[in-house]
Chains A and B, each alone.
Chain A
Amino acid sequence: MRVEVVLPGVLADLAGGTRHLEVAPSGGTLADLLDTLAAVHPRLARRIRDEAGALRRFVNVYVDGDDVRFTGGLAAAVPDGAVVQVLPSVAGG
């Protein structure tokens, strides 16, 4: 099973300088994908989830274009071949 993770440019340095990662997740949910990502890129994973495992408030994750907050959150299904996009939400000042 392979999944493509697309990162915003500001996080590329934490992924070895690339915005596109090929990941073989340990299971079929977003939580599985992020656990696999954390084992390889822990600093990157900390930007997406806090240490309690929750998605950070102002980080949005889309699986094949769908916002996971409306499709099960960390339990959202991530099928083989999915494109998972991480984007900062509209926030700040």
Chain B
Amino acid sequence: MTDLLAIGTRKGLWLARSDDDRRTWTLGEPHLLAQEVAAVSIDTRGPAPRVLAGIQYGHWGPTVMWSDDLGASWQETEAGAIRFPEDTGAALARVWQLRPDSADRPGVVWAGCEPHSLWRSTDGGCSFEFVRGLWDHPHRPTWEPGGGGGAVHTVLPDPASDRVTVAMSTGGVYVSEDGASTWEPRNAGISAAFLPEPAPEYGQCVHKVAVDAAGPDRMYAQNHFGVFRTDDAGKAWTSIAEGLPADFGFPVVASPSTPGTAWVVPLVADVQRVPPEGRLQVHRTRDAGETWTALTTGLPDGCWAAVVRDAVCADQAEPTGLYVGTRDGCVYASADEGDTFGLVADHLPDVLVVRAARIPA
């Protein structure tokens, strides 16, 4: 088997491979060079792994492209994979998230986009259907854009039910229990320090949400100030930030196999988006956020680069691998759940997204 790591950056996509169970990595040539690649997924459900990329082609606008031959060639739908319906008057600004659904739903891929919108594909990401239920939610006109733009940046389909969870900056967490037709906000307990009312029903700037391996009701949220956990599918959130050096940050990743295990990458604050004390550090919990352990072995000191929301991921191998990309173009990989890291790449453009998958050699 080969471990494949896709690295989307502000100016292109790189694929790294490991053929020795993630001990060493080989970085390939750039793909989609000079194009911003803010969303990537590796879909392993088909006969060949499909790399899907949400790109911003410089002056020429956003689209979705895919490769079924690990980057040797790229395709895009003639009319564009994602097109807002005419009656909305909206136009796609950026693809923030590409999320293949479960193996039981072959061909289904979700996309989260800017402006705030959710899309569903049934043909592997070649074309997407507009999810009107979220767009028509009465709250939508008041979802404000965060610094990066107003977007659905997190899409979490539950493989065992019709539940779909999304997170937005801003807007917060919204959940559908009927396959994305109707939606309700689920932000109780998540703070909004930038709003006059500290605990609104919605409007939070939730940076990322991850589902725990224990099951779909337990999730973690890295917020714009605050790290939270829910045990009831978002109906109530409680702080789990105690023990972290800072409660600001962007990514949160949950272990795909070990309940209670998750990782965050703290930054000092929203007005100081750098690692604490200039030391790149991942923090891991093994008890669903009750306690945290700093992981720094193999990560650089004297590092003042931020890690953005999709620039951390876990793989499906055993033990779980963890991957961290930085805005100064470095990528670090761990094959032991974060205990130790090694450098996969450096001097790349700003890393926006990393995704890992195990594929046939």
**A residues with CB within 8 A of B:** 10-11, 42-43, 46-48, 50-52, 54, 56, 58-59, 88-89, 91-92
- The distance from the CB of A71 to the nearest CB of chain B, in whole angstroms, is 21
Shortest CB distance A54–B (Å): 7
29 contacts between A and B (CB under 8 A): A10-B60, A11-B60, A42-B79, A42-B80, A43-B76, A43-B78, A46-B60, A46-B63, A46-B79, A46-B80, A47-B57, A47-B59, A47-B60, A47-B61, A48-B60, A50-B61, A50-B91, A51-B83, A51-B91, A51-B92, A52-B90, A52-B91, A56-B59, A58-B58, A59-B60, A88-B60, A89-B59, A92-B58, A92-B59
Query: How distant is the Cα of A54 from the Cα of B91 in the complex, in angstroms?
Result: 9
Q: Interface majority SS on B: helix, strand, loop or mixed?
A: loop
16 extra interface residue pairs, beta carbon distance < 8 Å, beyond A46-B63, A54-B91, A58-B59:
A11-B60, A42-B79, A42-B80, A46-B61, A46-B80, A47-B59, A47-B61, A50-B61, A50-B92, A51-B91, A52-B84, A52-B86, A56-B60, A58-B58, A88-B58, A88-B59
Q: Interface of B with A (CB < 8 Å)?
A: 57-61, 63, 76, 78-80, 83-84, 86, 89-92
Q: List, in ascending order, chain A residues with CB within 8 A of B84's CB.
A: 51-52
Report the minimal beta-carbon distance from A22 to chain B, rounded to whole angstroms: 21
Give the docked Cα–Cα distance between A60 and B58 (Å). 14
Report the minimum CB–CB distance from B326 to chain A (whole Å): 18
| A58 to B60 CA separation, bound complex (whole angstroms) | 8
Which 5 residue pairs are nearest across A and B when measured between Cβ atoms? A50-B91, A47-B60, A58-B59, A88-B59, A52-B91
